[in-house]
Amino acid sequence: MTFLDPKTKATLIGTIAVLLWALLALFTTVVKSIPPFQLVSLCFSVATVFSAVWISRRGPGAFRALRQPVGAWVLSVGGLFGYHFFYFVALANAPAVDASLIAYLWPLFIVLLSALLPGERLRWYHVAGAVCGLGGAAVLVSKGQGFDFDPAFAAGYGASLACSILWSGYSVLNRRYRAVPVEAVCGFCGGAAILGFITHGLMESWVTPDAWQWLAIAGLGLGPVGIAFFVWDYGTKHGDIQVLGVSAYAAPLLSTLILIVAGAAPASPAVIWGCLLIVGGAVLASKNILIRRRTTP
């Protein structure tokens, strides 16, 4: 019986984050009346509490994992909160379709920036797969209708670009702190929650969630804003960063399919074309892993 090598295993663990992020759209349809930074702060609070409970099962000494270099804290808290901050600023200052497409440059940036990491080599199929994935995401986000970039929304476009650079930079630089255990993400989520509450207090008014919204917030905090960041942390530190970058384009595809199954969105030819481009890109970018698995005795 052939077992997965550590790098492939870490890559597969990292892709769990993509599956969880695909649930974001479905959950957020329930909490769309909640101000965005209030939602971010509550979700990260849920993630912090449940991960703290999980860590505490290993004994009081387990919380020593939070004693990490200042650089690790700045990078991780800045990545987690900064992405959401600039994304919401972008949505407030530019059309959602345009802002979402620019924000979804981060998987492509991950693939390109990964060439700067020690021991990583950027191949043509990594870039080609990432470009195919971006094309598929563009088809899904625009529903095949194209885009109309207006200079009047330059501030929103700039914020979208900032969030894509922040998240790709965090994901790639995270490899530098591969010695930092995944348990430390509990503290990073707590830092993001605090910044979320501060931003909410400065920019928004509190809206009390109803029972269903509290359940959705708990679901978000456990999955897309909880476990997802723990497995992404592990994957980016120990897995194939190029494959992880391209696999991220599966999130808008799976999200669209989930909405269709739930009856919240119609099926269309754009979904088929987007699916073909994203899946094709992911297979192409994973060429080295697929070949290695096929030739391993």
**Which tens digits make up the pLDDT trace of 27-45?**
888 898 999 999 999 999 9
- Could you tell me which of 76, 74, 53 has the C-alpha nearest to residue 63? 53
Structure tokens at 186: 């509990």
Report the pLDDT value the prediction gives residue 233, as an integer from 0 to 100. Answer: 96
Report the pLDDT value the prediction gives residue 296, as an integer from 0 to 100. Answer: 45
- 3-state helix/strand/coil string of the chain: CCCCCHHHHHHHHHHHHHHHHCCHHHHHCCCCCCCHHHHHHHHHHHHHHHHHHHHHCCCHHHHHHHCCCHHHHHHHHHHHHHHHHHHHHHHHHCCHHHHHHHHCCHHHHHHHHHHHCCCCCCCHHHHHHHHHHHHHHHHHHHCCCCCCCCHHHHHHHHHHHHHHHHHHHHHHHHHHHCCCCHHHHHHHHHHHHHHHHHHHHHHCCCCCCCHHHHHHHHHHHHHHHHHHHHHHHHHHHHCCHHHHHHHCCHHHHHHHHHHHHCCCCCCCHHHHHHHHHHHHHHHHHCHHHHHHHHHCC
Structure tokens at 26: 């479905």
Cα 64 from Cα 184, distance rounded (Å):
9
Name the one residue in this structure whose structure tokens are 């009390």.
Answer: 208
Of 133-147, 194-208, 232-246, the one with minimum mean pLDDT is 133-147
Say which residue, 256 or 154, is predicted with more confidence.
154
Task: Read off the pLDDT of each residue in 267-288 and give the average, rounded to a whole number.
Answer: 72
Say which residue, 77 or 287, is predicted with more confidence.
77
pLDDT band at 178 (very low <50, low <70, confident <90, very high): very high
Cα 35 from Cα 38, distance rounded (Å):
5
> How many Å from the N-terminal Cα to the C-terminal Cα in the chain?
9
pLDDT band at 264 (very low <50, low <70, confident <90, very high): low
pLDDT band at 1 (very low <50, low <70, confident <90, very high): very low
